Amino acid sequence: MRLFAAIRPPAPVLAHLGAATTALRLGAGAPLRWVPVEQQHVTVAFFGELPDGAASDLQDPLARLVAGFAPLELRLRGAGEFAGRSLWVGVADGGTADGGAGGGGAATGAHARADDLARLLALMAAADDLPDAQVRERRRAHLSVARHSRRAADVDLGGLARVLSVYSGPAWVADSVELVSSRLGAGPGGGPLHEVIDTYPLRGYDA
């Protein structure tokens, strides 16, 4: 199974993103594989393919690391594509421009900003007591929206990313990080099956 750590935006945030991408879905046609809303998440660290039972070795180190961070004030903003393989939206400082979207309450200045998310990603990748995180593009906080299928050679992901680059979603406060397992081909329609193994609160102190 594959293991990764993730922040899951609340339902109103994902609904807003879904409404913004409706036209893209219709225009791109069938070849792109759009990520189901229940699997949409902000990747914090991707640990790769690990044997069954490896999750238990991750739980205590993850809990200690995550507990040192306060809840994060975020919003989905901008977009890009990774090497013609996947379309994503970025993650930015939530600011105080709107009332937030749940997940920990309305965004306020009392919460950590998006640069703390970048620091969390870097610490996840460098932690000695965690498996070597496969960083590559995953050092950039992002939420995958769609992936290139073998039948999608004529789909211009770069063009879709440019259209979506002006997107800015509602702010929310992320108050936890999840450890998630992914089993390729085990989900509906032959897609991946994601299961949350544990959830770690962002507490803002060293555990």
Q: pLDDT tens digit string along 24-40?
A: 887 766 578 889 999 99
Q: Catalytic one among 16, 41, 148, 194?
A: 41
User: What is the distance between the alpha carbons of residues 22 and 160, in angstroms, rounded to a whole number?
Assistant: 12
Catalytic pick among 16, 111, 142, 148:
142
State yes or no: is 41 an active-site residue: yes
Q: Which residue do the tokens 């690990």 mark?
A: 50
Work out the angle at residue 39's Cα, subtended by the Cα atoms of residues 36 and 44, and round it to the nearest 5 degrees.
140
Whether residue 111 lies in the annotated active site: no
Secondary structure element (H or E) that encloses residue 15, with its range: helix 11-28
Say how many CA atoms lie within 13 Å of 34 toward its Cβ.
15
In 3-state terms the chain splits into helix, strand, coil percentages (rounded to 5) of 30, 30, 40
User: How far apart (Å, rounded) are the C-alpha atoms in residues 100 and 13?
Assistant: 9
Return the exposure string of 68-82: e unless at least 16 CB atoms fall within 10 Å of the residue's CB, then b. Answer: bbbbbbbbbbbbbbb
* Residue 82: closest CA among 161, 25, 28, 18: 161
- The pLDDT assigned to 175 comes to 95
Domains and CATH numbers, the chain: 2-201 (3.90.1140.10)
Give the model confidence (pLDDT) of 141-191 as tens digits: 899 999 876 655 567 788 889 999 999 999 999 999 999 988 876 666 667
Residue type, 80: G
pTM score, whole prediction: 0.81
Q: How many CB atoms lie within 10 A of CB 86?
A: 20
Q: Which two tokens stand for residue 13?
A: 């945030």
How many angstroms separate the CA atoms of 1 and 12, rounded?
30
Residue 153: predicted pLDDT: 58
Q: Which residue has the tokens 């870097």?
A: 122
Residue 106 clears pLDDT 50, i.e. is over it: no
pLDDT above 70 (res 124): yes
